[in-house]
Amino acid sequence: MNDGFPTVVYSDVHDKDRISRARAAGRLVKVGSGVYVNDLSKPAEDVVRERLWEIVAHKLPGAVITDRSARHGGVAVDGFLFVTHRRTRPLKLAGVVVEPRHGSGPMPGDIALPDGLWLAGPARSLLENLAPTRPASGRPPRTLTRAQVELWIDDLCRDRGEDGLNEIREQARELAPFLGRLAECDLLNRLVGASMNTHPTAILQTPELIGRAAGQAFDRRRVDIFGRLVDYLEGQPPDLVTAMPADRGRRTLLPFYEAYFSNYIEGTEFTLDEAADIIFDDVVPEQRPEDAHDILGTYRLTSSDAEMRRRPATDQELLTLLRERHAVLMGGRPLVGPGKFKTQANRAGETHFVAPELVEGTLRRGYEVGSRLVSPWARAVYVMFMVSEVHPFADGNGRIARVMMNAELHGSGEVRIVIPTVYRLNYLSALKGATHNENFAGLYAALSFARKWTARVDFTSRWTAEGDLERTHALRDAMTAEDAGIRLTLP
Protein backbone atom coordinates (compact mmCIF):
# COMPACT_ATOMS: atom_id res chain seq x y z
CA MET A 1 0.00 0.00 0.00
CA ASN A 2 1.44 3.40 -0.99
CA ASP A 3 -1.54 5.64 -0.13
CA GLY A 4 -1.65 6.79 -3.77
CA PHE A 5 1.65 8.63 -3.38
CA PRO A 6 4.23 8.83 -6.19
CA THR A 7 7.75 7.54 -5.53
CA VAL A 8 8.91 10.94 -4.26
CA VAL A 9 6.56 12.86 -1.99
CA TYR A 10 6.85 16.57 -1.14
CA SER A 11 5.26 18.16 1.91
CA ASP A 12 4.45 21.32 -0.04
CA VAL A 13 2.44 19.33 -2.60
CA HIS A 14 0.71 16.56 -0.67
CA ASP A 15 -1.46 16.67 2.43
CA LYS A 16 0.78 16.85 5.47
CA ASP A 17 -1.56 14.79 7.64
CA ARG A 18 -1.56 11.96 5.10
CA ILE A 19 2.21 12.14 4.92
CA SER A 20 2.46 12.01 8.71
CA ARG A 21 0.18 8.94 8.93
CA ALA A 22 2.01 7.12 6.16
CA ARG A 23 5.34 7.87 7.75
CA ALA A 24 4.16 6.71 11.17
CA ALA A 25 2.93 3.47 9.55
CA GLY A 26 6.34 2.94 7.96
CA ARG A 27 5.10 3.46 4.41
CA LEU A 28 7.10 6.64 3.82
CA VAL A 29 10.73 7.40 4.62
CA LYS A 30 11.98 10.93 5.09
CA VAL A 31 15.06 11.61 2.96
CA GLY A 32 15.34 15.37 3.41
CA SER A 33 13.53 18.45 4.62
CA GLY A 34 10.03 18.10 3.22
CA VAL A 35 11.02 15.17 0.98
CA TYR A 36 9.88 11.56 1.41
CA VAL A 37 10.02 8.36 -0.64
CA ASN A 38 7.68 5.38 -0.62
CA ASP A 39 9.99 2.90 -2.38
CA LEU A 40 11.02 0.70 0.55
CA SER A 41 12.51 -2.04 -1.64
CA LYS A 42 15.93 -0.38 -1.68
CA PRO A 43 17.98 1.93 0.56
CA ALA A 44 16.74 5.51 0.68
CA GLU A 45 20.13 6.72 -0.57
CA ASP A 46 19.69 4.73 -3.78
CA VAL A 47 16.23 6.15 -4.38
CA VAL A 48 17.55 9.68 -3.87
CA ARG A 49 20.33 9.17 -6.41
CA GLU A 50 17.92 7.68 -8.92
CA ARG A 51 15.54 10.63 -8.54
CA LEU A 52 18.10 13.31 -7.73
CA TRP A 53 17.42 15.64 -10.65
CA GLU A 54 13.69 15.45 -10.02
CA ILE A 55 14.18 16.34 -6.34
CA VAL A 56 16.64 19.15 -7.04
CA ALA A 57 14.35 20.57 -9.71
CA HIS A 58 11.49 20.67 -7.21
CA LYS A 59 13.47 22.17 -4.35
CA LEU A 60 15.75 24.42 -6.42
CA PRO A 61 13.84 25.13 -9.66
CA GLY A 62 15.95 26.30 -12.57
CA ALA A 63 19.27 25.43 -10.84
CA VAL A 64 22.40 25.09 -12.96
CA ILE A 65 24.69 22.18 -12.11
CA THR A 66 28.13 23.68 -12.19
CA ASP A 67 31.63 23.79 -10.69
CA ARG A 68 33.19 20.33 -10.36
CA SER A 69 29.79 18.61 -10.56
CA ALA A 70 29.59 19.69 -14.21
CA ARG A 71 32.73 17.66 -14.96
CA HIS A 72 30.88 14.49 -13.92
CA GLY A 73 27.70 15.25 -15.84
CA GLY A 74 25.73 16.15 -12.74
CA VAL A 75 26.40 12.91 -10.89
CA ALA A 76 27.04 13.33 -7.17
CA VAL A 77 30.13 11.12 -7.22
CA ASP A 78 31.20 11.87 -3.66
CA GLY A 79 27.85 12.77 -2.15
CA PHE A 80 27.93 16.46 -3.13
CA LEU A 81 26.17 18.23 -5.98
CA PHE A 82 27.17 21.83 -6.67
CA VAL A 83 24.69 24.21 -8.30
CA THR A 84 23.99 27.89 -8.80
CA HIS A 85 20.66 29.04 -7.36
CA ARG A 86 19.22 31.81 -5.23
CA ARG A 87 18.82 29.38 -2.31
CA THR A 88 21.40 30.11 0.37
CA ARG A 89 21.46 26.95 2.48
CA PRO A 90 22.42 23.39 1.50
CA LEU A 91 19.75 20.82 0.69
CA LYS A 92 20.61 17.78 2.76
CA LEU A 93 19.23 14.52 1.41
CA ALA A 94 19.88 10.87 2.20
CA GLY A 95 23.35 10.25 0.76
CA VAL A 96 23.61 13.59 -1.08
CA VAL A 97 24.15 17.21 -0.14
CA VAL A 98 23.19 19.82 -2.73
CA GLU A 99 25.41 22.89 -2.28
CA PRO A 100 23.99 26.06 -3.91
CA ARG A 101 25.79 29.32 -4.51
CA HIS A 102 24.72 32.56 -6.07
CA GLY A 103 25.63 32.75 -9.73
CA SER A 104 24.37 33.17 -13.24
CA GLY A 105 21.40 31.22 -14.49
CA PRO A 106 21.49 29.32 -17.80
CA MET A 107 24.02 30.72 -20.28
CA PRO A 108 24.63 30.01 -23.98
CA GLY A 109 26.22 26.58 -24.27
CA ASP A 110 24.58 25.21 -21.13
CA ILE A 111 22.68 21.95 -21.54
CA ALA A 112 18.98 21.61 -20.71
CA LEU A 113 18.19 18.67 -18.43
CA PRO A 114 14.83 17.10 -17.53
CA ASP A 115 12.55 18.84 -15.04
CA GLY A 116 13.92 22.31 -15.83
CA LEU A 117 17.49 21.83 -14.57
CA TRP A 118 20.58 22.89 -16.50
CA LEU A 119 24.10 21.52 -16.80
CA ALA A 120 26.84 24.07 -17.32
CA GLY A 121 28.51 23.60 -20.71
CA PRO A 122 32.25 22.91 -20.99
CA ALA A 123 33.25 26.52 -21.73
CA ARG A 124 31.44 27.85 -18.67
CA SER A 125 32.52 24.90 -16.53
CA LEU A 126 36.19 25.35 -17.33
CA LEU A 127 36.01 29.02 -16.38
CA GLU A 128 34.19 28.35 -13.13
CA ASN A 129 36.52 25.51 -12.17
CA LEU A 130 39.57 27.71 -12.67
CA ALA A 131 38.20 30.22 -10.14
CA PRO A 132 39.97 30.07 -6.77
CA THR A 133 37.71 28.83 -3.99
CA ARG A 134 38.07 28.24 -0.30
CA PRO A 135 36.03 25.24 0.89
CA ALA A 136 33.85 25.65 3.93
CA SER A 137 34.95 23.82 7.04
CA GLY A 138 34.29 20.09 6.76
CA ARG A 139 33.18 20.31 3.14
CA PRO A 140 35.00 19.39 -0.06
CA PRO A 141 36.08 22.11 -2.49
CA ARG A 142 33.52 23.25 -5.04
CA THR A 143 35.97 23.32 -7.92
CA LEU A 144 38.46 21.01 -9.56
CA THR A 145 42.17 21.35 -8.93
CA ARG A 146 44.37 22.85 -11.63
CA ALA A 147 45.65 19.37 -12.46
CA GLN A 148 42.11 18.06 -12.84
CA VAL A 149 41.25 20.95 -15.16
CA GLU A 150 44.29 20.09 -17.28
CA LEU A 151 43.14 16.48 -17.51
CA TRP A 152 39.74 17.72 -18.62
CA ILE A 153 41.36 19.85 -21.32
CA ASP A 154 43.32 16.80 -22.46
CA ASP A 155 40.11 14.75 -22.64
CA LEU A 156 38.35 17.46 -24.63
CA CYS A 157 41.21 17.67 -27.09
CA ARG A 158 41.25 13.89 -27.46
CA ASP A 159 37.49 13.65 -27.97
CA ARG A 160 36.87 16.79 -30.04
CA GLY A 161 40.24 17.50 -31.57
CA GLU A 162 42.10 20.79 -31.52
CA ASP A 163 39.40 22.49 -33.57
CA GLY A 164 36.76 21.46 -31.04
CA LEU A 165 38.90 22.67 -28.16
CA ASN A 166 39.45 25.99 -29.89
CA GLU A 167 35.69 26.39 -30.26
CA ILE A 168 35.29 25.88 -26.51
CA ARG A 169 37.99 28.47 -25.88
CA GLU A 170 36.16 30.98 -28.09
CA GLN A 171 32.90 30.31 -26.25
CA ALA A 172 34.70 30.90 -22.97
CA ARG A 173 35.95 34.27 -24.22
CA GLU A 174 32.39 35.29 -25.03
CA LEU A 175 31.02 34.14 -21.66
CA ALA A 176 33.80 35.45 -19.43
CA PRO A 177 32.61 39.10 -19.18
CA PHE A 178 29.08 38.02 -18.21
CA LEU A 179 30.34 35.54 -15.64
CA GLY A 180 32.96 37.89 -14.21
CA ARG A 181 35.70 35.38 -15.13
CA LEU A 182 38.17 37.45 -17.17
CA ALA A 183 41.20 36.28 -15.18
CA GLU A 184 40.08 32.68 -15.49
CA CYS A 185 39.59 33.15 -19.23
CA ASP A 186 43.15 34.37 -19.56
CA LEU A 187 44.42 31.32 -17.66
CA LEU A 188 42.30 28.98 -19.78
CA ASN A 189 43.63 30.58 -22.94
CA ARG A 190 47.21 30.05 -21.80
CA LEU A 191 46.53 26.41 -20.79
CA VAL A 192 44.86 25.56 -24.08
CA GLY A 193 47.56 27.37 -26.05
CA ALA A 194 50.31 25.58 -24.12
CA SER A 195 48.67 22.21 -24.75
CA MET A 196 48.88 22.97 -28.50
CA ASN A 197 52.41 24.34 -28.13
CA THR A 198 51.36 27.82 -29.28
CA HIS A 199 51.98 29.35 -25.82
CA PRO A 200 54.79 28.77 -23.31
CA THR A 201 54.46 25.28 -21.86
CA ALA A 202 56.07 25.95 -18.48
CA ILE A 203 52.59 26.70 -17.13
CA LEU A 204 51.51 23.06 -17.51
CA GLN A 205 51.48 20.74 -14.50
CA THR A 206 50.32 17.33 -15.73
CA PRO A 207 52.21 14.71 -17.78
CA GLU A 208 49.18 14.48 -20.06
CA LEU A 209 49.24 18.06 -21.28
CA ILE A 210 53.03 18.27 -21.16
CA GLY A 211 53.14 15.20 -23.40
CA ARG A 212 50.51 16.65 -25.72
CA ALA A 213 52.47 19.89 -26.02
CA ALA A 214 55.57 17.87 -26.91
CA GLY A 215 53.68 15.96 -29.60
CA GLN A 216 53.40 12.85 -27.44
CA ALA A 217 49.82 12.99 -26.29
CA PHE A 218 48.50 9.68 -24.99
CA ASP A 219 45.25 7.93 -24.18
CA ARG A 220 45.09 8.29 -20.41
CA ARG A 221 42.28 5.78 -19.97
CA ARG A 222 44.27 3.11 -21.80
CA VAL A 223 47.45 3.88 -19.86
CA ASP A 224 45.50 3.59 -16.60
CA ILE A 225 44.26 0.16 -17.70
CA PHE A 226 47.82 -0.85 -18.55
CA GLY A 227 48.85 0.12 -15.05
CA ARG A 228 46.16 -2.04 -13.50
CA LEU A 229 47.18 -4.96 -15.70
CA VAL A 230 50.76 -4.58 -14.46
CA ASP A 231 49.49 -4.60 -10.88
CA TYR A 232 47.60 -7.82 -11.60
CA LEU A 233 50.54 -9.51 -13.30
CA GLU A 234 52.92 -8.58 -10.49
CA GLY A 235 50.56 -10.30 -8.07
CA GLN A 236 50.71 -13.65 -9.88
CA PRO A 237 53.13 -16.45 -8.89
CA PRO A 238 56.05 -17.25 -11.21
CA ASP A 239 54.97 -19.24 -14.28
CA LEU A 240 57.93 -20.65 -16.19
CA VAL A 241 57.59 -23.00 -19.19
CA THR A 242 61.13 -23.46 -20.44
CA ALA A 243 61.86 -24.32 -24.06
CA MET A 244 64.34 -27.08 -23.24
CA PRO A 245 67.27 -27.47 -25.67
CA ALA A 246 66.65 -31.22 -25.71
CA ASP A 247 63.20 -30.56 -27.18
CA ARG A 248 64.44 -28.32 -29.99
CA GLY A 249 63.53 -30.95 -32.57
CA ARG A 250 59.95 -31.00 -31.34
CA ARG A 251 59.72 -27.28 -32.16
CA THR A 252 61.05 -27.55 -35.74
CA LEU A 253 57.79 -26.59 -37.43
CA LEU A 254 56.33 -24.47 -34.64
CA PRO A 255 57.01 -21.20 -36.56
CA PHE A 256 55.02 -22.56 -39.52
CA TYR A 257 51.96 -23.37 -37.44
CA GLU A 258 52.34 -20.14 -35.47
CA ALA A 259 52.19 -18.15 -38.72
CA TYR A 260 49.38 -20.28 -40.11
CA PHE A 261 47.09 -20.01 -37.10
CA SER A 262 47.87 -16.35 -36.45
CA ASN A 263 46.61 -15.52 -39.93
CA TYR A 264 43.67 -17.91 -39.77
CA ILE A 265 42.42 -16.10 -36.67
CA GLU A 266 42.33 -12.87 -38.69
CA GLY A 267 40.38 -14.40 -41.58
CA THR A 268 43.27 -15.29 -43.89
CA GLU A 269 42.15 -18.88 -44.39
CA PHE A 270 44.15 -21.47 -46.30
CA THR A 271 44.38 -25.21 -45.89
CA LEU A 272 47.56 -26.45 -44.25
CA ASP A 273 48.69 -27.87 -47.59
CA GLU A 274 48.15 -24.52 -49.31
CA ALA A 275 50.02 -22.71 -46.54
CA ALA A 276 52.91 -25.18 -46.78
CA ASP A 277 53.10 -24.64 -50.55
CA ILE A 278 53.24 -20.88 -50.04
CA ILE A 279 55.91 -20.97 -47.34
CA PHE A 280 58.12 -23.87 -48.37
CA ASP A 281 57.65 -24.01 -52.16
CA ASP A 282 56.91 -20.35 -52.96
CA VAL A 283 53.64 -21.26 -54.65
CA VAL A 284 51.46 -18.15 -54.58
CA PRO A 285 47.77 -18.62 -55.53
CA GLU A 286 47.00 -16.36 -58.48
CA GLN A 287 43.72 -15.18 -56.96
CA ARG A 288 45.12 -14.48 -53.49
CA PRO A 289 48.62 -12.98 -53.70
CA GLU A 290 48.09 -10.55 -50.81
CA ASP A 291 46.75 -13.24 -48.47
CA ALA A 292 49.68 -15.46 -49.41
CA HIS A 293 52.11 -12.65 -48.58
CA ASP A 294 50.47 -12.19 -45.17
CA ILE A 295 51.30 -15.79 -44.24
CA LEU A 296 54.76 -15.60 -45.79
CA GLY A 297 55.51 -12.31 -44.06
CA THR A 298 54.39 -13.68 -40.69
CA TYR A 299 56.53 -16.78 -41.20
CA ARG A 300 59.59 -14.68 -42.01
CA LEU A 301 59.23 -13.17 -38.56
CA THR A 302 58.30 -16.28 -36.58
CA SER A 303 60.96 -18.47 -38.19
CA SER A 304 63.87 -16.09 -37.61
CA ASP A 305 65.66 -16.93 -34.37
CA ALA A 306 67.49 -13.60 -34.47
CA GLU A 307 64.30 -11.62 -35.08
CA MET A 308 62.35 -13.41 -32.36
CA ARG A 309 65.09 -12.65 -29.86
CA ARG A 310 64.78 -8.89 -30.38
CA ARG A 311 63.03 -7.24 -27.47
CA PRO A 312 62.73 -3.49 -26.91
CA ALA A 313 65.00 -1.98 -24.27
CA THR A 314 63.54 1.53 -24.63
CA ASP A 315 60.27 3.07 -25.71
CA GLN A 316 61.90 4.19 -28.96
CA GLU A 317 63.03 0.63 -29.65
CA LEU A 318 59.45 -0.51 -29.10
CA LEU A 319 58.22 1.87 -31.81
CA THR A 320 61.04 0.84 -34.14
CA LEU A 321 60.40 -2.88 -33.66
CA LEU A 322 56.70 -2.49 -34.28
CA ARG A 323 57.25 -0.56 -37.50
CA GLU A 324 59.94 -2.90 -38.81
CA ARG A 325 57.95 -6.05 -38.09
CA HIS A 326 54.80 -4.57 -39.55
CA ALA A 327 56.69 -3.67 -42.73
CA VAL A 328 57.69 -7.32 -43.13
CA LEU A 329 54.27 -8.69 -42.21
CA MET A 330 52.17 -6.40 -44.42
CA GLY A 331 54.70 -5.80 -47.18
CA GLY A 332 52.33 -7.34 -49.71
CA ARG A 333 49.60 -4.80 -48.96
CA PRO A 334 50.99 -1.35 -49.82
CA LEU A 335 47.59 0.30 -49.41
CA VAL A 336 47.55 -0.34 -45.63
CA GLY A 337 50.86 1.45 -45.09
CA PRO A 338 53.35 -1.28 -44.13
CA GLY A 339 55.54 -0.05 -41.30
CA LYS A 340 53.51 3.13 -40.78
CA PHE A 341 51.22 3.90 -37.88
CA LYS A 342 47.57 4.45 -38.75
CA THR A 343 46.22 7.79 -39.87
CA GLN A 344 42.54 6.95 -39.41
CA ALA A 345 40.70 5.68 -36.35
CA ASN A 346 39.88 1.97 -36.22
CA ARG A 347 37.50 -0.16 -34.21
CA ALA A 348 36.28 -3.72 -33.77
CA GLY A 349 32.61 -3.97 -32.82
CA GLU A 350 32.13 -1.96 -29.64
CA THR A 351 35.85 -1.50 -29.09
CA HIS A 352 37.24 1.85 -30.24
CA PHE A 353 41.02 1.73 -30.30
CA VAL A 354 43.47 4.53 -29.55
CA ALA A 355 43.11 7.58 -31.79
CA PRO A 356 45.83 7.95 -34.46
CA GLU A 357 47.34 11.08 -32.93
CA LEU A 358 47.70 9.31 -29.58
CA VAL A 359 49.36 6.10 -30.82
CA GLU A 360 53.01 6.98 -30.29
CA GLY A 361 52.47 8.68 -26.95
CA THR A 362 50.32 5.81 -25.66
CA LEU A 363 52.87 3.19 -26.73
CA ARG A 364 55.67 5.15 -25.08
CA ARG A 365 53.75 5.54 -21.84
CA GLY A 366 52.61 1.92 -22.06
CA TYR A 367 56.22 0.79 -22.34
CA GLU A 368 57.13 2.91 -19.34
CA VAL A 369 54.28 1.47 -17.27
CA GLY A 370 55.19 -2.12 -18.17
CA SER A 371 58.94 -1.69 -17.66
CA ARG A 372 58.77 -2.83 -14.07
CA LEU A 373 57.63 -6.33 -15.06
CA VAL A 374 60.43 -8.84 -14.63
CA SER A 375 58.91 -12.18 -15.62
CA PRO A 376 59.12 -12.93 -19.39
CA TRP A 377 55.67 -14.50 -19.17
CA ALA A 378 54.19 -11.38 -17.57
CA ARG A 379 55.91 -9.16 -20.13
CA ALA A 380 54.55 -11.35 -22.94
CA VAL A 381 50.97 -11.08 -21.70
CA TYR A 382 51.38 -7.36 -21.15
CA VAL A 383 52.89 -6.43 -24.52
CA MET A 384 50.34 -8.50 -26.43
CA PHE A 385 47.47 -6.73 -24.67
CA MET A 386 49.08 -3.30 -24.98
CA VAL A 387 49.66 -3.56 -28.73
CA SER A 388 46.23 -5.08 -29.30
CA GLU A 389 44.59 -2.34 -27.24
CA VAL A 390 46.38 0.48 -29.05
CA HIS A 391 45.89 -1.12 -32.50
CA PRO A 392 48.60 1.12 -33.95
CA PHE A 393 48.28 0.07 -37.61
CA ALA A 394 45.54 0.10 -40.21
CA ASP A 395 45.76 -3.71 -40.49
CA GLY A 396 47.75 -6.60 -39.04
CA ASN A 397 47.47 -5.52 -35.40
CA GLY A 398 46.52 -8.90 -33.95
CA ARG A 399 49.34 -10.66 -35.75
CA ILE A 400 51.89 -8.07 -34.68
CA ALA A 401 50.65 -8.24 -31.08
CA ARG A 402 51.19 -12.01 -31.04
CA VAL A 403 54.64 -11.70 -32.63
CA MET A 404 55.62 -9.20 -29.95
CA MET A 405 54.26 -11.55 -27.28
CA ASN A 406 56.17 -14.54 -28.55
CA ALA A 407 59.39 -12.58 -28.99
CA GLU A 408 59.33 -11.88 -25.25
CA LEU A 409 59.02 -15.62 -24.60
CA HIS A 410 61.41 -16.91 -27.27
CA GLY A 411 64.04 -14.34 -26.41
CA SER A 412 63.94 -15.53 -22.79
CA GLY A 413 64.14 -19.22 -23.62
CA GLU A 414 60.49 -19.96 -22.91
CA VAL A 415 57.81 -21.76 -24.90
CA ARG A 416 55.85 -19.58 -27.30
CA ILE A 417 52.07 -19.39 -27.62
CA VAL A 418 50.07 -20.59 -30.62
CA ILE A 419 46.35 -19.83 -30.76
CA PRO A 420 44.76 -22.63 -32.81
CA THR A 421 41.59 -22.18 -34.83
CA VAL A 422 39.27 -23.86 -32.35
CA TYR A 423 40.54 -21.56 -29.58
CA ARG A 424 39.85 -18.34 -31.49
CA LEU A 425 36.66 -17.40 -29.64
CA ASN A 426 38.25 -18.13 -26.26
CA TYR A 427 41.17 -15.87 -27.09
CA LEU A 428 39.10 -13.02 -28.53
CA SER A 429 36.58 -13.22 -25.71
CA ALA A 430 39.38 -13.02 -23.16
CA LEU A 431 40.80 -9.96 -24.92
CA LYS A 432 37.38 -8.32 -24.98
CA GLY A 433 36.84 -9.08 -21.31
CA ALA A 434 40.15 -7.45 -20.41
CA THR A 435 39.32 -4.41 -22.57
CA HIS A 436 35.79 -3.75 -21.37
CA ASN A 437 35.70 -5.26 -17.87
CA GLU A 438 39.38 -5.43 -16.91
CA ASN A 439 39.00 -9.20 -16.54
CA PHE A 440 42.74 -9.74 -16.56
CA ALA A 441 42.39 -13.13 -14.89
CA GLY A 442 40.42 -14.40 -17.89
CA LEU A 443 43.06 -13.23 -20.36
CA TYR A 444 45.84 -14.66 -18.21
CA ALA A 445 44.11 -18.03 -17.98
CA ALA A 446 43.34 -18.20 -21.71
CA LEU A 447 46.94 -17.50 -22.71
CA SER A 448 48.29 -19.84 -20.04
CA PHE A 449 46.23 -22.75 -21.36
CA ALA A 450 47.28 -21.99 -24.94
CA ARG A 451 50.93 -22.04 -23.86
CA LYS A 452 50.51 -25.39 -22.13
CA TRP A 453 48.89 -26.76 -25.28
CA THR A 454 51.70 -25.40 -27.46
CA ALA A 455 54.35 -26.89 -25.19
CA ARG A 456 52.86 -30.39 -25.55
CA VAL A 457 52.32 -30.49 -29.31
CA ASP A 458 55.03 -32.34 -31.22
CA PHE A 459 56.03 -29.98 -34.03
CA THR A 460 58.82 -32.27 -35.29
CA SER A 461 57.07 -32.85 -38.61
CA ARG A 462 53.73 -32.20 -40.23
CA TRP A 463 52.78 -35.81 -39.56
CA THR A 464 53.43 -35.57 -35.80
CA ALA A 465 52.06 -32.05 -35.46
CA GLU A 466 48.84 -32.62 -37.35
CA GLY A 467 48.24 -35.83 -35.49
CA ASP A 468 48.25 -33.79 -32.27
CA LEU A 469 46.15 -31.06 -33.89
CA GLU A 470 43.48 -33.57 -34.87
CA ARG A 471 43.43 -35.29 -31.49
CA THR A 472 43.07 -31.98 -29.61
CA HIS A 473 40.42 -30.52 -32.00
CA ALA A 474 42.78 -27.64 -32.83
CA LEU A 475 41.70 -27.45 -36.49
CA ARG A 476 37.97 -27.33 -35.82
CA ASP A 477 36.07 -24.20 -36.77
CA ALA A 478 35.58 -22.16 -33.61
CA MET A 479 31.89 -21.43 -34.16
CA THR A 480 30.82 -24.96 -35.08
CA ALA A 481 32.94 -26.39 -32.29
CA GLU A 482 31.31 -24.02 -29.82
CA ASP A 483 27.84 -25.11 -30.96
CA ALA A 484 28.84 -28.75 -30.63
CA GLY A 485 30.43 -28.28 -27.20
CA ILE A 486 33.89 -29.21 -28.50
CA ARG A 487 36.87 -27.67 -26.74
CA LEU A 488 40.62 -27.56 -27.24
CA THR A 489 42.23 -30.32 -25.20
CA LEU A 490 45.82 -30.96 -24.19
CA PRO A 491 47.79 -33.58 -26.16
Nearest CA to 204 out of 216, 220, 188 is that of 188
- Which residues, including other chains, have CB under 8 Å from residue 33's CB and lie 6 or more apart? 91, 92
Q: What is the pLDDT along the chain (491 residues), one digit of tens a residue?
A: 456 788 888 988 888 888 888 888 888 889 899 998 888 888 989 999 999 999 999 999 999 999 999 998 887 778 899 999 999 999 999 999 999 999 999 999 999 998 899 999 999 999 999 998 776 666 788 999 999 999 999 989 888 888 899 999 999 999 999 999 999 999 999 999 998 888 888 899 998 888 888 888 889 899 999 999 999 999 999 888 998 888 899 999 999 999 999 999 999 999 999 999 999 999 989 889 999 999 999 999 999 999 999 999 999 999 999 999 999 999 999 999 999 999 999 988 888 899 998 999 999 999 999 999 999 999 999 999 999 999 999 999 999 999 999 999 999 999 999 999 999 999 999 999 999 999 999 999 999 999 999 999 999 999 999 999 999 999 999 999 999 999 999 99
pTM of the model: 0.77
For 1, how many CA atoms within 13 A lie in the half-sphere containing its CB? 7
Instruction: Check: CB of residue 113 under 8 Å from CB of residue 119.
Output: yes
* pLDDT value of position 138: 67
* pLDDT value of position 175: 95
* pLDDT value of position 1: 46
Q: What are residue 154's DSSP bridge partners?
A: none
pLDDT in tens, 193-234: 998 888 888 899 998 888 888 888 889 899 999 999 999 999
107 vs 198: CA distance, rounded Å? 29
Instruction: Check: CB of residue 403 under 8 Å from CB of residue 298.
Output: yes
Can you list the pairs that 191-198 forms with residues at least 24 positions away whose Cβ atoms lie under 8 Å?
191/149, 191/150, 191/153, 192/153, 192/165, 192/166, 195/150, 195/153, 195/154, 195/157, 195/165, 196/157, 196/162, 196/165
* pLDDT value of position 2: 52
92 vs 34: CA distance, rounded Å? 11
Nearest CA to 12 out of 74, 58, 66, 45 is that of 58
> What region does 337 belong to: left with phi over 0, alpha with psi -120 to 50, or beta?
left
Instruction: Check: CB of residue 315 under 8 Å from CB of residue 368.
Output: yes
169 vs 475: CA distance, rounded Å? 57
Domains defined for the chain, CATH in brackets: 8-120 (no CATH), 146-213 (no CATH), 220-484 (1.10.3290.10)
Instruction: Check: CB of residue 335 under 8 Å from CB of residue 416.
Output: no
403 vs 297: CA distance, rounded Å? 11
* pLDDT value of position 17: 83
pLDDT in tens, 359-382: 999 999 999 999 999 999 999 999
* pLDDT value of position 416: 97
